């Protein structure tokens, strides 16, 4: 069967029209073959959202924006109605999910779906209205950061302007003259510092000579110490020998003997206190003490009388006369004469 040109042309025209309609629907955000699930959301403004913008879920494109309409009779927060489609049959929106208008990247706007985690309330059916929000775009964020910085920069520029004005007012002929005077003072101070440095250098030179002499004396002392090293070693050796002998000495025996002596002396004193022995009798017998005193007194009186009147006790003649009194031997006479002569001399 031969097809005429008119039928071919008609078929081509119908196909072209169908492709045109499908392309228009695709550009609007619909699928080629339809069957997309359609939902609505209301916003206070469009946020520059355009038809055919992408609808994403967790960064994956799941639909398109179908309509962006202005509804003046609604409340201010619901005057822009956006219709969007979900082209993926596996995507279901739980009740409580939120749709936001925001930036998908640096250049494109789109819709972002935040799925609710609560599945107990069920899922939205096609044609339902979801809660819509406007995400903070990049420009708003930059503005929120830039506005405080801009204010601070303006305040800083104002302060700088005031400072420059103050410096300009200060920088007159008077200030210039004061600065010149200050520079002169600084120059004078530097010259004085130079003079002080020279004096310090001279002082250091003199002290260097003295220090050299001191070091020479120290060196001489060290040499003398070195020469005396042997003598010091001998002294230390003798000291060590003495200490060794002291260590080896029988201090224990000496201390024991001293203790025994003290014990014996204590026993003697105890006996004397009790009146025992000759020492005890002398210490305890007052009669013996008094008799000794009286005897000493009588003896002293006798000696005094003999010194004063020796003729009463001894009679002798130089010329051989007859001796009176008690006869004495020549030795006894000589002894008596010596005793008398010594007594008279004293």
Mean of per-residue pLDDT scores for the chain:
77
- Residue 127: closest CA among 66, 75, 80: 66
Inter-CA distances, 204 with 191, 196, 209, 216, Å: 20, 12, 9, 18
- Looking at the predicted structure, is the pLDDT value of residue 319 above 50? no
pLDDT at residue 338, as a whole number: 67
pTM for the predicted model, two decimal places:
0.37
Note whether 62 and 13 are within 8 A (CB): no
Average pLDDT over residues 261-284: 73
303 falls in which pLDDT band (50, 70, 90)? confident
Owner of token pair 């994956």: 60
Average pLDDT over residues 16-35: 64
Alpha carbon distance 110, 104 (integer Å): 6
Alpha carbon distance 162, 159 (integer Å): 5
- Looking at the predicted structure, is the pLDDT value of residue 187 above 60? yes
Q: Report pLDDT digits (tens) over 99-144.
A: 999 887 777 888 999 998 888 889 999 999 999 998 765 556 566 6
pLDDT at residue 323, as a whole number: 47
Q: Is 255 helix (H, G, I), strand (E, B) or coil?
A: helix
Higher pLDDT among residues 343 and 24, named by residue: 24
Percent of the chain residues topping a pLDDT of 70:
71
Q: Report pLDDT digits (tens) over 78-89.
A: 999 999 999 888
Average pLDDT over residues 33-50: 85
- Looking at the predicted structure, is the pLDDT value of residue 194 above 90? no
Higher pLDDT among residues 16 and 74, named by residue: 74
Alpha carbon distance 71, 51 (integer Å): 16
Note whether 97 and 143 are within 8 A (CB): no
Higher pLDDT among residues 291 and 142, named by residue: 291
Average pLDDT over residues 265-294: 72
* Residue 28 burial (CB count, 10 A): 14
């Amino acid at each position: 069967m031969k097809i005429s040109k008119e039928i071919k042309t008609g078929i081509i025209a119908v196909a072209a029209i169908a492709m045109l309609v499908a392309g228009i629907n695709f550009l609007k955000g619909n699928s080629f073959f339809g069957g997309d699930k359609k939902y609505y959301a209301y916003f206070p403004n469009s946020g520059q959202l355009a038809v055919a913008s992408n609808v994403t879920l967790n960064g994956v494109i799941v639909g398109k924006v179908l309509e962006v309409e202005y509804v003046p009779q609604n409340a201010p927060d619901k005057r822009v109605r956006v219709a969007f489609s979900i082209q993926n049959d596996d995507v279901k929106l739980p009740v409580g999910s939120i749709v936001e208008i925001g930036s998908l990247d640096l250049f494109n706007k789109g819709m972002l779906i935040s799925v609710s985690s609560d599945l107990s309330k069920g899922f939205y059916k096609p044609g339902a209205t979801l809660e819509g929000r406007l995400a903070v775009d990049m420009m708003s964020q930059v503005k929120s950061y830039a506005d405080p910085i801009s204010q601070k920069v303006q305040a800083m520029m104002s302060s700088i302007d005031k400072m420059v004005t103050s410096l300009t007012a200060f920088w007159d002929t008077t200030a210039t003259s004061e600065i010149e005077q200050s520079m002169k003072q600084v120059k004078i101070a530097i010259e004085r510092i130079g003079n002080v440095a020279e004096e310090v250098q001279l002082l250091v030179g003199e002290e260097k000579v003295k220090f050299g002499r001191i070091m020479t004396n120290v060196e001489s002392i060290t040499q003398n110490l070195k020469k005396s090293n042997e003598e010091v070693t001998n002294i230390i050796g003798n000291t060590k020998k003495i200490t060794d002998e002291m260590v080896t000495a029988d201090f224990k025996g000496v201390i024991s003997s001293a203790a025994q002596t003290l014990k014996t002396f204590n026993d003697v004193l105890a006996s004397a206190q009790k009146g025992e022995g000759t020492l005890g009798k002398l210490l305890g017998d007052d009669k013996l003490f008094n008799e000794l005193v009286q005897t000493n007194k009588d003896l002293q009186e006798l000696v005094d009388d003999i010194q004063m009147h020796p003729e009463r006790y001894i009679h002798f003649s130089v010329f051989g006369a007859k001796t009176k009194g008690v006869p004495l031997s020549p030795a006894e006479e000589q002894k008596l004469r010596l005793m008398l002569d010594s007594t008279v001399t004293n």
